[in-house]
Copies of this chain bind each other. A is one copy, B any other.
Amino acid sequence: MLEVVASIANLRERLLPMRRAGKSIGLVPTMGALHAGHRRLIERARQQNSAVVVSIFVNPLQFDRNEDLARYPRPLDDDLTCCRELHVDFVFTPSAAEMYPHEQLAIVDVPQLSEHLCGAHRPGHFRGVATVVMKLFQIVQPERAYFGEKDAQQLAIIQRMVEDLNLPLTIVPVATVREPDGLALSSRNRHLNEEQRQLAAILPTALQAARARIQSGERSAHVIQTAVAPLFDRHPGLRLEYFSLVDPQTLAPVSYIDRPVLIAAALWIGSTRLIDNLTVSPIENGQPPLSSPRTSTATEAPPAKLRSP
């Protein structure tokens, strides 16, 4: 039986006897506008825990543009229906005043993982994410928390936060859910018109093209970036923010691909920003690389520079 709780004190009061009884609590932090990707997170939480808490909070601290915050979708009734179907126990729907009763002076940050990829284009975003996730963890005190792999940088930052700050919980990453044409599910997809929705498939297509090149033996990040770039020049409504090959843990740019690499991209379609990523392991079976190795390691490599294939 779903309970909707808006107050921190009430939620804690409801969860305390469960924790005392040794029952495991799974938390799925969301900003609402739940789609099949969220459903996958909730289903996983349902399988692994005695009680499931879904938080729905559009966190002002992580938005760098007020317009984006204002137009972020908030279909609460649909979200509650979804949570009921999936046998969620508690939906936590705090107001901004409940979460931030006065100026938030204490912050959590993982600066070195926040400077690359999306962080380079959204200053303060991941500090806002880490801070609100820390608050949710302290309020709910879950045994497990569920995050989608679509937000790869967020996932890496939260995992590092949990590890470095000794938080007593496990982060469970959940695979990205995709449309038939490969587009990753996102609450922002609903902002796309029909033509933009068609165009959006270019993002997973480019990621798959990059993966195919690595699996064919290409080792130069720059060669791969140069090869996929023209895909995004086909339409004036597309603007590529970044298409990067980075170390999956440190998120530092990789130039020579000799170990698993995260390929991550952000693409503007009109005024909507979409992100996506894949993790790829280079093939190890003696296939000769198309580019020669560099002396620097993947984790310490400088950003990819121009180099002939």
Q: Which residues of A contact B (CB under 8 A)?
A: 8, 12, 20, 22, 104-113, 130-131, 134-135, 138-139, 141, 160-161, 163-168
Contact = CB atoms under 8 A, between A and B. Distances in A.
Given A135-B165, A166-B135, A108 B110 contact: no
B106 A107 contact: no
A78 B165 CA distance: 30
Among A106, A108, A164, A167, which residue has the most Cβ atoms of chain B within 10 A?
A: A106
Given A105-B160, A106-B161, A135-B164, 7 more contacts: A105-B110, A105-B112, A106-B160, A106-B164, A107-B108, A138-B166, A138-B167
Nearest to A164: B106
B164 A139 contact: no
A15 to B, nearest CB: 10
A168 B105 contact: no
Nearest to A135: B166
16 contacts: A20-B22, A104-B164, A105-B113, A105-B160, A105-B164, A106-B108, A106-B110, A106-B130, A106-B164, A109-B109, A135-B164, A135-B165, A138-B165, A138-B167, A138-B168, A139-B168
B165 A108 contact: yes
Contacts of A164: 104-106, 135
- A-B residue pairs, 3 tightest by C-beta: A106-B164, A138-B166, A106-B161
Contact of A111 (B22, B105, B134, B138): B105
A165 B106 contact: yes
A116 B165 CA distance: 26
Contacts of A107: 108-111
Contacts of A112: 105
A112 B8 CA distance: 26
Contacts of A167: 138
Among A105, A107, A135, which residue has the most Cβ atoms of chain B within 10 A?
A: A105
A130 B105 CA distance: 12
Nearest to A113: B105
Contacts of A161: 106
A77 to B, nearest CB: 28
Contacts of A12: 168
Contacts of A108: 106-108, 165
Contacts of A109: 106-107, 109
Contacts of A20: 20, 22
A139 B113 contact: no
Nearest to A141: B168
Contacts of A131: 165
Nearest to A136: B166
A134 B139 CA distance: 15
